A and B are shown apart, each in its own frame.
Chain A
């Protein structure tokens, strides 16, 4: 009998440690490493020798001997074009290739002999689309046929909620505080009768325990080493790949991690520093004592940053700490007593660490995997692929909190009279007994509370022989369920801005929309594209606040559809229909239908990397500083702007110091900081932008009132009254988009009237007569001008306006303020 196949396997692909777990009928098993004394996590470290590769603890140990050939923390570089040089194999490897080696090693933990074909891999909720897709690619390169991504806070919630059976999960808000080795996530969740939903989240992909290790090296080890020997540029020689002591840097990081772990239980610890040679060839060998208070003062600023993000999360959801029931701590760095203490102080609510912070994510991923059906293509484990003699469709709810749940059976093929069927719960809680099989029938299944219910359905023929069916098991979860995973940020489409000749963002999906999601929009084509030409349409999908300028957001999909792909010319004014969907693993697909050429195109955005060359970053920083300088001319006394300017110019300097072979995460960190600064600046200028938008609204309103008073129809008077009736709410909303929308309505009304006003049309006609020499097609221009003059003489104002529109098209593009069309729709 064929089994209903769920994904079942969950992988936590961590920055510093990874783990794999499996869901099996309501229980989760975390697999342990057979090569590492049964340890349940695998250090995400890969070591290379000429003929062998080793992953995990062994690789970590090897880092001390041959640091240049041991790679770690590569999760932080996922989604970038950076590669890591491995001298032993004379190759550069991508973060994806390195991560895939970790996944391959995790597959070896599975002792049951099953093939891991489908898996849930967790990602930080702040991972952008490139980083997410890179993670998926790592799974696929490890030979897994199907990879579904899951955000880590959801996994942590599932691990916690299922560990308590939902009993300890009161209705209301709670927090997941996840401080791992390399990333930080804080998520606000809401539970209601066992259903858990992620409401919002904040995070930092470059903040974690590895930063604490780096701080110990930079702030404690380096000064101590400098005081023991003679060095010209110790720090530079440690952190640069070409630095003479780069190998020692890896060794020091391993020692720093040990210091950090020791200080979680002891108030002070000693560490031996040896094997480093100073500039005068003296070998250093000394013992260093580090106290917990020294360590705490080092990490205080970073931990405060996490509490700042936590507070921000509450503020943006209009919540007080007292509105939160409890906080769940996960991630290895939450073992640090200071972290627990600070978060407890900030929230003043119970801080729980009842689930093992190191395996919680993998366990949660496995719970999720148990509820997700694997795709048929990915199933290699069903050895019993006998052909079903009877196929049916089973319709039921996969998760419920009710005491019973209906199931509808609809036989599709193979039905014979005399067949009977029986459905029973595996724990013995229900048995229907053998009943006559009908082509359509239903049962009411009693559900065991807060558990995973497995029902089996069997069919036998009139002689009592078993009949093979296409689906023989029904799994219904009455424990805790999640509503799905939310989008980490707005997703928008770049479209032409008809008023400015630039582009703007059209929001497609808002932050926290539950995936999968799809939408369709129709837009008129804004420029004619001839079949065969190189010019075409540009589709750019960005991730980030949709109020931001396009360039401030992260491009997650870019596609050009050139005229040479068109079967025929596509005219301005025809329609383009776009369907955009994002699946649960954040793969974005665009389908475009061009009505005029009657053609459909489809594009899925697979892996798109962010190229973080220092030169690109320098250009970005310079451009931003130029924008800032302009803005500061109007805000010389703004302390906030001065602070942004100060940090921006520091950043420009710091970015200028980057070398192409810098092995630290500096490039990524600085790029991220620059991005946040641009966002801060946008937020800081937002108030000014809203004030400007309100001024424009009032100006347009006055013009509109005057023209409606003088030339408006009864309907136009009514329409103006309707706009003004909304005025108070619109202006008080402080929403830029609402105010701009209202101004646009007034503008449209204004031009609707002005374009039939004789005085305006006559003067426009005169202007065009004076510009007659500039028409790009003189024959058409003269013919149209003559027709326009005739229309004016006939006082046919509708026709006059339409002819003027045609004449404007004949003017050179630099005369048409809005002629430039970038995107094409």
Chain B
């Protein structure tokens, strides 16, 4: 946070892109004025008047990304609180205390609360360590256990805060059948990118009915975001990463708020980054459960045959990994991910990438 020597300039500079807010400003009433503003100056009539802290935090939470400046009767001892409430600069009435201002900024090395400076609060730091240790412990216990045991343990350990992610693709039925048998009300997330093959959607509906899954949640891109980022529907052509981010990564991140564990159907034999996959994986935020990590293509096939599961209608046309129609092609069973984003360096859409702790705007854990 920048400390200005004096606030004289702040008071005189009434540039059109700067908005000065009194402490009693009501954000709902001035939403239009805030749009497009580069800097907001919040006035503190007295250092004992803490309304400006809540105003700043609210502005940040509602997405204001411009500069926030605290102006007025403030004392150096408040430096850290101001920074944590979301201020970038402070212009105090009383000048000449730069040393005390800067010292106050570093008086504490950790914080209990999540705040707008986006440092990791104590509870998240502790829980992240615990969760990472839990993934290691579970791997030690379950590394060589059958998929069903891994799944049952995960569904029990994370009861009420675990979901399944399924593409309803070529192999999905095998894992979903197991979930349907143990806990059919487990939330199953399906990312409807609105770019799926019609066959996938039909197959999804048929499979849900056949297996008796009772809690399928269809996730789609945010309407406003889609209108802004992909007005012509051709984003996949220009930038497939941006398309995946809009239609898969962000909708999933939003849906996962409140969930601490996510079951995936990824397998080591898929190759690439999946070659080292373990049954439990801590991604910095939540635990990914990969009960089928050790399965081969033959193992999947065997379950399909044993349970007489219907195959995705496109499998017989040579599709072995099925995503959105613009970015999916048939491939060889030896390299199943080769048919995805063919011609690009890309093999993953991003939903399985490890996240920085505290990222994504959802719960820190």
- A and B, one complex? no
